[in-house]
Each structure stands twice: as C-alpha cells, then as structure tokens.
A and B are shown apart, each in its own frame.
Chain A
Amino acid sequence: MTYIPHSPKERDAMLAVIGVKSLEDLFKDIPAKHRYPSLDLPPALTEMEAAAELGELSTSNENIQTDLVSFLGAGAYNHYIPAAVDHILRRGEFYTAYTPYQPEISQGTLQGIFEYQSLICALTGMEVSNASHYDGATAVAEAANMAYAQFRGKRGRVVISPTVHPQYRATMRTYVQGMGLELAGDDPNANLDAGPEALESLIDDNTALVIVQYPDFFGRVYDLSKLIEIAHGKGALVCMTVNPTALGLLKTPGEMGADIVVGEGQPLGIPLSFGGPYLGFFTTRKQYIHKMAGRLAGETVDNRGQRAFVLTLTAREQHIKRERAISNICSNEGLMALAAALYLSLLGQTGLRQVAELCYHKAHYAAEKISKVKGFSLCFDVPFFHEFSVYCPRPVAEINDHLLEHGILGGYDLGQDYPALKDHMLVAVTEMNTRDEIDALVDILAEGNHD
C-alpha cells in the first residue's frame, strides 16, 4: 500500500475548519523553548555506513544460537524450533496481525487463531481459549480481572502463591492497584519449603481467585487437586499458570479442576529474542466464556453453507462494552500465536511428549551430577520438571562470571527475589543441552572450588 500524506492544500482546509492559522498554532500551549529542542545529533550516516555501524554493534551481543550454552530459564526457555515454523510464519499473508474484523478477507488469519485456540485447549485440558495476550504475566493479571468480574466486584481478595514467577506477581501488583483488590500470599519471605497447602488458610469467603504456578517458579511439581477443591469449597476460582512444555508429560490442569489456565507460550516455537515478543495463553471453562478477556475466533458456515471462521461473542469486548468491558486489552499476539500453533502441529502429541521427556531426564541427570559437586546441594526434595534450585558455596554472580568465561550462561540468581535463597541458583535444562554440555557445566562448577 502506498503511503499518501496530506497535501498542503488539504492541511490548510483542515486548519481553516477548526479555525487555526497554522500547524504551529496547535502547539502554542507548549512553551516555545520545549517545542523543538536541539538534539545535538551527529551528522546523518548513509545507509551503508549505518548498516556497518549497527552490524558492528550487534557483534557485542552473545547469543545462545552461536556463542553460549544456556542453563538459564526462569520463565523463558531455549527449545528447538522446527524450520517449518519460521518458513510458514514469514509468509506475507500472515504478517499483518491486525484484528481480522472482516472475515471475508481474513479467513487465513482467523483459521490460524481458531487452530491455535483448539490446540491450547487440548494441551491444557480446558474448554475455551482466547486468541492470546501479550505474555504470561499479563495473562495472569487478566485472570484476576475475570474473577473480579465473575463476582461482580463482591469478592475483594486474590490469593497468589509466593512461588508464582516474581515478575508475574509484580504485574499483578500493578493491575490490582485501584481495583480495590487485596493481594494475599505475595510474600517473598514466606516459607518456601511449604507446599500448596500453605495457601489454604489464606482462602476465605471473600476470595475471588487463587493463583498458583505449575510447575512452580522453582520447577517443582505438586498435585494441586486438593487445593483447588478447598478453594472451590469457599466459592473461589482457581487460576493455574503453567509451563506448556511440561503439559506434554504431566497431568493437565483441566483434570485437576482449574477454572482458568494461563501461561507463557514462548516455549512453543518462539525464540528467546532478548525477552520478546512473547505469547500469553488464556483458557477457561465454557461457563465463564462471557467473562473472558480478549478476542475469540469461532467456526461457522457462510451463506453458501461452507465452513468459515469469524470473531465471535465480540459484544464482550471494549469496542462495544466501553467502560463496562471486563478488560481494556483485547489485542492478541497474532503472529506468536500462529508460531505456537505451527510448533504444536509439527510436533504433535508424541513429539511434545518427547521434548518434555528429554527436558525431564536431562534436568534430572544434571541435578544428580551437580548435587555431587562439593559444596553444592539441591534445595528442595520435591519432584521437579526441567528446572531446579541449587545451593551454591559461593555467590551466584561470582559463579556465573566464571561460567561465562567458559561460554556458559549460568542459572538464575534466586537471591534477588527471595532473601532466604541467597546463594541459590535456578538451573534450567532443556532438550537443547547435550550430555557433554551438562558434564562441562558440572566440571566448571567443581573447578571453581579450587580457584
């Protein structure tokens, strides 16, 4: 599409209509000295010069495709992405992720969203999925919005486990301010050895939602069925934020009785990309569909009786409900959702299970070896998926500096979020880590003891 700016004649006509002489008059409320500040920029570069400079700057980045071996996770994971994901994703037809309000010209995009929703439902064991949110953190926050709306604001408490991702909890704190919601359980000093039963006493008759992570931030896997039963006994809803890869192997949240299941979709075929764009997935049970934020693609038939796709139940959304809408964010991560749908389709149920099993076994191999290095020990004696907490004999930052010298990106320093976990490292292992890499990690950790 050619971009055609307004002509001077059109601009003058518009200014005449609103009764202003010049464009500058529109900015006269801004003090003159702030209107066009001098920016002190260097002389403009040619395209060739700019490309050379940016190319050189980019060599300062170290990435895990070519430079580093990664044992860093904490919410974003390095997985293999089949080549076909990118190939299909980069087709021009899919590039515009803008809202497909016109089904007659958007069947491909709409079908993509519909397939994505269907796959996410199958993965989580839930009944309805929306077309996605920005990321895992915002999907969790939308769950609180939904629960608040479900009880029409009459329940004012959200219980969140301290083992939910610290950044998700920070996002929750941002969302609930001004909503009159009280956040209980958001305490980094809580006893982290306690299982989900520690939340039971926080759930009362005023609780709208209980939020737990599965596997939790430390990689631990608990059966949450009992907690969910207790929450339901108090009339509260339960949201599980989950790692989608783990669901290839573990009991689904749907089976455990969760009402809302959300999570970060990055592990499903989306590169780490220095933190984004990522994908928030959001599912619930059919009975809550009208309280669900975000848009929804549905299957229907056109006027010739042919299978077709449309955005459905749109009256829930803010462009119709305005200030009464449950959420004021209905954008979706169209391209990332498509990547996830492609990834899941290419792997299939068996492939995803294989990825999950590789992650599980490699992580357990690594944990076993690391726990035998002098000074290092596993922090929790609870089943885990592909991530585990390790007590270190030296500060984590120091160990990570040493690992980086050997081309290894070490684990996440848990002390920055949990005071009691000073000198604890969260180590993630995926199918991308070879046995040699794990052995090298273990050797370097042991070597550090003698430095």
Chain B
Amino acid sequence: MNIPTNLKYTKTDEWFNPDTGAMGLSDYAQGQLSDIVFIEIIVSTGETVAPGKPIASVESVKAAAETYASVSGKVVAVNEDLSGNPEILNTDPYVKGWMVKVEGGQASGLMDAAAYTKYCEERAH
C-alpha cells in the first residue's frame, strides 16, 4: 500500500497535500473500491468546502462512495481529467488523481502517514 509521507489523511480515507492544497482519495480506498468506472466532482471553483462535506461521487464495479473534503477552504481548481478517465483513481490516486485544490486549508487534526498506515493495518484484521 502506498502512503506518501508528505500527505495528511482522514479517517474516511481522503488525503490532503498541505503544500499544494490538493485533496483526493487514498490508495487504500481505491483498492477497497476496486475498478472505478465513474467519478463526478460535485463542487465547483469558488465554492467553500469543509470536512465532512462531499466533494465527489465515485462509483466502482461493485460499490458507490462519496469522497469528503479533508480540510476547510475555498475551491480554486477542479480536476477535469477525472470524469473522462476514472481509472486514474486506481492507477495514480495521489498525483494525477487529485480531485480539487483549495486555498487556506489547515492540516491540523489530520493523521500523518505513520498514523494512517497504522489505521489502515488495524482495519485489515
């Protein structure tokens, strides 16, 4: 499982990059969902998001899930490439698979890579 150390994580398996303001779905989450066939970002540039607010709807061959904002902030960019290529979420969830970028996002309260790794391992049992 790929859990980059420069990112912060939520208990609902989203990641946040404090350097770029990007957020998305973790490698663990995409693995659980299996082949992703549809993604719809449901927020637009200029909107304000907050933890717990859905930013995207994701469907795989066996499940459907919401992705929630990992931090608060104003949306400054939305990844338009995802809707036409939902498989990006499976192959590259952390770089090409970013969903939205926000400004002013604070990572405090999120898990670091070590804590998230432990959290994922616990659920594996």
Contact = CB atoms under 8 A, between A and B. Distances in A.
Given A315-B60, A315-B61, A316-B59, A324 B38 contact: no
Interface string A263-299: 0000000000000000000000000001000000000
Nearest to B39: A290
B63 interface: yes
B64 A313 contact: no
B62 interface: yes
Contacts of B13: none
Most buried by B among A152, A290, A315, A324: A315
A28 B62 CA distance: 42
B42 A320 contact: no
A290 B42 contact: no
Interface string A307-327: 000000101100011001000
Interface in B39-68: 40, 42, 57, 59-64, 66
A315 B42 contact: no
A315 B60 CA distance: 7
A321 B61 CA distance: 12
Contacts of A315: 37-38, 59-64
A290 B59 contact: yes
Nearest to B65: A315
B64 A321 contact: yes
Contacts of A313: 37-38, 59
Given A315-B37, A320-B64, A321-B64, A152 B59 contact: no
A320 B63 contact: yes
Nearest to B66: A324
B110 to A, nearest CB: 25
A374 to B, nearest CB: 63
Contacts of A320: 62-64
Nearest to A290: B38
A324 B63 CA distance: 12
Interface of A: 152, 290, 313, 315-316, 320-321, 324
Given A313-B37, A315-B37, 5 more contacts: A313-B59, A315-B63, A320-B63, A321-B64, A324-B57
24 contacts: A152-B42, A290-B38, A290-B40, A290-B59, A313-B37, A313-B38, A313-B59, A315-B37, A315-B38, A315-B59, A315-B60, A315-B61, A315-B62, A315-B63, A315-B64, A316-B59, A316-B64, A320-B62, A320-B63, A320-B64, A321-B64, A324-B57, A324-B64, A324-B66
The 8 residue pairs across chains A and B that have the minimum distance between CB atoms: A315-B59, A315-B64, A321-B64, A290-B38, A320-B64, A152-B42, A315-B63, A320-B63
